[in-house]
Amino acid sequence: MLTLYHHPFSPSSRFLRLILNEYGAEFESKIVNPWERPADLLMLNPAGTIPVLVENDGPAICGATPIMEYLDETRGYSLANRRLMPDHPEARAECRRLVDWALLKLDGEVIGHLVRERIYKQVMPKSAGGGEPDSAALRVARANIPHHMKYLEYLAASRKWLAGDRLSFADFALAAELSCADYLGEVPWKNEVNVKEWYARVKSRPSMRPLLGEKVLGMPPSPTYADLDF
């Protein structure tokens, strides 16, 4: 049995939930607030960060990309064309590059600011940094997102899927990040038609349905969030 320690609006956690859903892997969900460091999590991951995955009585796998690789090696290898890691070494490298782009660069420059300031701070205690959103951080995110969207538009216009001809981990990493911003109405969809079409295809997959049904208490999603024909 798999147990995933995560938060519903942690983009990297969303990425892993999408992978687990795509691979048809049942898992137990343990929700952890990213700003807390509960003792049971620290026993698994001394860094105190999520996501963390545990299978049965095995060791904890910590971090989104190590978990991604673990799921590929333990589940994906047997799924033929449903495997989310490409077969060719060069295609694998490109897939991993875009996963890093999503989880590190896009998250660090855009999505992480939006999620922290507009979602996490709503429930964080003041001692942990909760309270009013930091307007400077939001300005940075809003200034950066058009640059990322233009790059994604280039990829979506020139490839069948973002990393190449097959659906891959890259598509789900980027979709997980954008889904959080989309909930908040922070994605400029009207300017990038190919990205919008790509995201609609990913959003229509059954693996996305559980995520699209989740809501932040007291904050309804944007009209585009759960609309498959947005």
Place of tokens 């659906």: 167
CATH number of the domain at 89-212, out of 1.20.1050.140, 3.30.1490.190, 1.20.1050.10, 1.10.287.3510? 1.20.1050.10
More confident residue, 190 or 92: 92
User: What 8-state DSSP symbol labels residue 197?
Assistant: H
| CA 126 to chain centroid | 26
Which ranges of the chain would DSSP assign to H, the alpha helix? Answer: 11-22, 39-44, 64-74, 89-100, 112-115, 121-123, 135-158, 169-183, 193-203, 209-212
**Domain-by-domain residue ranges, the chain?**
2-82, 89-212
Q: Which two tokens stand for residue 40?
A: 């049971």
Q: Which two tokens stand for residue 203?
A: 């959003």
Mean of the per-residue pLDDT values for the chain? 96
Place of tokens 């660069």: 105
Note the pLDDT tens digit of each residue in 173-208.
999 999 999 999 999 998 899 999 999 999 999 999
pTM of the complete model: 0.96
Q: What is the CATH number of domain 2-82?
A: 3.40.30.10
Give Cβ neighbours of residue 42 (< 8 Å, ≥ 6 apart).
Answer: 48
Characterize 116-138 residue by residue with b for buried, 16 or more Cβ atoms within 10 angstroms of its Cβ, and e for exposed. bbbbbbeebeeeeeeeebeeeeb
| Residue 42: band (very low, low, confident or very high) from pLDDT cuts 50, 70, 90 | very high
Note the pLDDT tens digit of each residue in 97-152.
999 999 999 999 999 999 999 999 999 999 888 899 999 999 999 999 999 999 99
**CB burial of residue 61 (10 Å; 0-12, 13-18, 19+):** buried
**Residue 41: Cβ within 10 Å count:** 20
